[in-house]
Each structure stands twice: as structure tokens, then as C-alpha cells.
Structure 1
Amino acid sequence: MTLQCGMGTSCYFRGYLDKCQNSGLGFSRDFPMPTRPTFGSKLAHWADMSSPKRGDPVYIIDDEREVRRSLHFFLSTIGLVSWPFASAQDFLDNLVALEPAPILLDIRMPGADGLALMSEMRNRGINWPIIITSAHGDIQLVVKAVKLGAIEFLEKPFAWEALDTCLQSAFAQLAQRKHSFAARNAARSAFALLSRRETEVINVLMRGIPNKTAAHVLALSVRTVEMHRANALAKLTVKSIAEVIRMAHTAEMCTINNRVYEPPYA
């Protein structure tokens, strides 16, 4: 996606609102919040989110109204849907209605600032790509923001080309995270198909223990262990324990279905 505003590629954040209004492309005094997104409406996008698509959301969190309006107008000209928030609390109050999307976050705001919001999002396990925007290029703030997960820091005034690059990176990260999330859930769903005994057998075999030793550990016959092993591999549609270990890694599970079998001599 190449950002174009119709007034040349050297448009900067400062004064951009005035330039747009002078060009006759002005906008209303206020702008409505977009319709609440639904998961179903975005299924087609999830398959390929490496680049922004028309209608994709971007969240703007900034206490300056003119900043929100300027970014809102610009993003709308390239087909992106902006969700403006005047404060960190305003964003958190609406979080339940939001889907994963890039965030343009002002780092210094009254009340809870950008760093406080990032810390709260981390505590809630929300890992959406955040682009920090600020007129204060304090290196300490930048370091703190990066440690909290910011993918980029844009110092105002910034070139729209820089925002373009950041958004490309943000949407690429969303695509990768979505892919990883889907793969994790698929692996977990496959492991959920295993019976309790199959799970116990697989957990023991994943330690590199041969069938004969696993039979002793589980107080089963070797043939029974082999049967459960074969059934488990068939359900998981894999051919080896090594592939099961890779699936468990994808599923982010150190043990299958949280069932840990400790041998009597452990």
C-alpha cells in the first residue's frame, strides 16, 4: 500500500489538516465511530493480512482532537477505517468491541499515558502492534515503549511515508500472529481428540522413552502401548513421535492436554 493524499508525497503531520481543508477535501466537524466489527465480516481478510486492505481498522489514541481528526481523514482516503479514542481509558472502555488491529498511540496524555496503557494491555494478554506517536523524542520513553512491545516510534511531525512503512509492518505482524494462533488452535483441537490413555502414552513417549520402558512405567503390556501409540498417531495424522513433539510446540503445550504422568521412580 502506498499512501497518497493527492497533495504530493511530502505531506507532513504538522499542517496536514489545513492543507486538506484548503484543497476542498475537508470533513465534517465530528466523525462517527465505525460500525462494530464482527469476526465473520473479517474471515476473508485473515487469510492474507500481510498488507492493509480497504476497510481494515486502525485505532487512534490521542488526547488532541485535531490530531485524531487529521489521522482519521488521512486513513479514510486510503481505505482504512479509523477508530478514534481521546484517552487510554476511552480505549479500554471500548476494548470488548474491538478486534486485533494496529494502534497509533500518543505516549503523553492526561490521566493514564501511553506507557500505562501498554502495560495494562500486556497484563490483559493483548499483544496488538503499537506505533507510538509523540512530539517528545525522549530516548528513555522510547526504550520503555519498546520494552512494552511498541514496534515503532514516530516523532511528530512525521512523514506519511514513515507511517506507511509502520502500518505495513504492523499488518504483517498481525498476519503472522493470526497464522500462529490458527496453527496453535488446530494442534490443540487435534490433541483434544486423544483418549486419556492415549494421552498418557504419548506424554511418556515424548520423553524419548522406548515402548518397552513406557509399558513398564504405565503398568501396561508392550502391545497395549503400541496400540495406543498407533491410535494416537492416526488421530493426530502424523507418523512419528518427533512430529508429535513439533505439534506440541506449535500448540504451546509442554504436556498434552495438561496431563502429566510421573513415573513411580521419578
Structure 2
Amino acid sequence: MLPIYIIDDDTHVRQALVMLCRSMDLAARPFAGAADFLDDLPFLEPGAVIVDLRMPDVSGLDLLAAMHERDCLWPTVVITGHGDIAAAVQAMKLGAVDFLQKPFTDEEFEIAVNECARRLPEAIQRSLRSKANRRALDKLTPREREVFDGVVAGHTSKAIAVRLGLSHRTVETYRLSMMAKLGAQRLHDLLAIGSSGEGMFK
């Protein structure tokens, strides 16, 4: 049974969605806010996340970003009472499966949840790869990480050298060391690992 995690500060909305999930034979667990969900996240079974866009403590978009920082890429549906196109675009960029505007129909909700169920197995695998990549990046020195960020951002070694105030040869040395630590043979391998976006190259 697909676990459904409902995060909404509105008690009536939470209760209504829990009842709707139960009518669909789904196990729903409600949370009054994003902070409560994030506290329990390490102990939760992978599932679908239904989150309100606008909440007083942490917004739905902030929750999506926080989940990514924790290598949790579970399929998520963002719901809102406001037709915010910019927020919808940002939610999709953060990996949301759907963006539902209240009031939505039971059928619309069911379609979104079914899509979450379809995507969950791959989402679990991507989460595991993300954790492995993060562990690999933790092996790098700060300077190697800067070179890594520059490479995955598409910069040449010469451009990275100028940006970091180093010689081209020094950057190449860091690049070879960084690739050896990551077990990367080609640029494609580095791009597959990806960058956390915390370096100076963005």
C-alpha cells in the first residue's frame, strides 16, 4: 500500500484528504507543518508527499528543497488555494509530480496520486544514487570541490584557473585527483554525480 504523507496547516484540509485517501484504500499520515514532517522523515517509509504551498513555518517549495538536501526525492504533489504560475513552475523544477489548485476534484487527486505511485520506484533509486554521490563528494578537499563545481558547470580548465587564481597545470592536477577519488573516467561520469550547487560556480 502506497504511504501518503499529507502536510497542511489547515486541520480541515488535512482531515478531508485523509478521508479521501482512505476511500482510495491508501494509508495516509497527516502533518500539521513541514517541520514536523522533516523531523520524522528519517523514520518514514518511502511514499508520496502531498504538501500545501503556503504554510506559516516552512512553505511547500521550501519543503521540496529541504527534501532534496536530505537526498529524499519522493514524488510530491503541491496543492494551493492560489493560482500562482511562478510557484507552479518552481515546484516542477524541484521535482513535483503535479500542482493542484483548490478546490480540486477527487478524480484529479486520484490521478496525481496514481502518478506518484508510478514514479516511486525510480524515485527511491534516484534517492539512493543521490546519497551515494553526496558521500563521494565528501571525499574531496575544498579546492577539489571547487574544481568539480567548475567542471560540471561547463567551464574549461583554463577558465577555472582564472576564476580560482591558479595555474592551468595546478587545476589539471586537482582535476585528476578529484576524478580519481570519485572513480570517474570521463566528463560524463562527473555530470552523472552532479553538483550540490554550493560551490562558487553556478
Shorter-chain TM-score range: 0.5 to 0.7
Tell me which amino acid in the other structure corresponds to 2:183: N
Select which of 57, 61, 68 maps to 1:115: 61
Q: How many residues align structurally?
A: 136
Correspondence for 2:4: 58
Select which of 258, 261, 265 maps to 2:183: 258
SS of the residue aligned with 1:83?
strand
Question: Which structure 2 residues correspond to residues 21-60 of structure 1 after superposition, within 5 A?
Answer: 55-60=1-6
Cα RMSD after superposing both structures: 2.4
Distance 2:105 2:12 in 1: 17
Distance 1:259 1:144 in 2: 31
Distance 1:139 1:68 in 2: 24
Q: How far 1:108 sits from its partner (Å)? A: 0.1
Q: How far 1:74 sits from its partner (Å)? A: 1.4
Select which of 151, 154, 165 maps to 2:111: 165
Verify: 1:143 aligned to 2:77, yes or no.
no
Correspondence for 1:134: 80
Q: How far 1:256 sits from its partner (Å)? A: 11
Correspondence for 1:72: 18
SS of the residue aligned with 1:150?
coil
Q: How far 1:175 sits from its partner (Å)? A: 2.5
CA deviation string 1:117-176 (max 9, x = no partner): 111111111101010110011111111111111111000000111111111111111133
SS of the residue aligned with 1:94?
helix
SS of the residue aligned with 2:97?
strand
Q: Is the contact between residue 75 and residue 119 of structure 2 (CA under 8 Å) also seen in structure 1?
A: yes
Tell me which amino acid in the other structure corresponds to 2:25: G
Verify: 1:125 aligned to 2:125, yes or no.
no
Distance 1:82 1:154 in 2: 18
Question: Which structure 2 residues correspond to residues 2-17 of structure 1 after superposition, within 5 A?
Answer: none
Greater gyration radius? 1
For residues 127 and 178 of structure 1, do their structure 2 counterparts lie closer, same or farther at Cα, with a shift above 3 Å needed?
Answer: closer
* Higher helix residue share: 2
Distance 1:142 1:179 in 2: 25
Correspondence for 1:101: 47
Q: How far 1:56 sits from its partner (Å)? A: 2.4
Q: How far 1:59 sits from its partner (Å)? A: 0.4
User: Under a length normalisation based on structure 2, what TM-score does the superposition of the two structures give?
Assistant: 0.61
Higher RCO (Cα < 8 Å, 6 or more apart): 1
Structure 2 gaps of 5+ residues are: 130-178, 186-202
Identity among equivalent positions (%) equals 38
User: Under a length normalisation based on structure 1, what TM-score does the superposition of the two structures give?
Assistant: 0.47
